[in-house]
Structure 1
Amino acid sequence: MYRPMKVNPIEMQKSLGGVSCPASRKDIVATAKKSGAGPEIEKTLGALPEKAYDSPAAVNREVGRKS
């Protein structure tokens, strides 16, 4: 079950810089790791529903919808 953690949206956007869209959850998590995202961001992104995200803003909307 998807259970987001409270993460700073600015930090999340920074961690998604350089992601090629559309991107899968796996791509998003890999990009965040390369960007040095903290464990709470990695965990939140790893719990996203598996689908194609067309932008970092779409990822933020999904996280916001579930929190």
Structure 2
Amino acid sequence: MGGHSPSNISHHLKGIDFPAGRHDLLKQAERNGADEDVLDTLKRMPDERYESMADVMKGYGSVH
């Protein structure tokens, strides 16, 4: 359930460098100890280039 919170997603992406692709988001989340809920949410997001955390939140909104 915690994986479905925007603040939880951003917490697990702390330290990521933008621009970043979905693969980069997944790698950073894994480094930060994300659970399966968070990783599953990231995997469902559009495979595109994210320029900022705001872009990530838009992608998150498209799958949630």
TM interval, short-chain normalised = 0.7 to 0.9
Bigger share in helix: 2
Residue-pair matches, total: 62
Gaps of at least 5 residues in structure 1 are 1-5
Identical-pair percentage: 29
Paired position in structure 2 for 1:21: 18
The alignment partner of 2:50 has SS state of coil
Q: Pairwise CA RMSD of aligned residues?
A: 1.3
TM-score, normalization by structure 1: 0.81
Return the alpha-carbon distance in structure 1 between the equivalents of residues 26 and 63 of structure 2. 17
Runs of at least 4 residues off by over 4 Å: none
> Which structure has the higher relative contact order (CA within 8 Å, separation 6+)?
1
TM-score, normalized by length of structure 2? 0.85
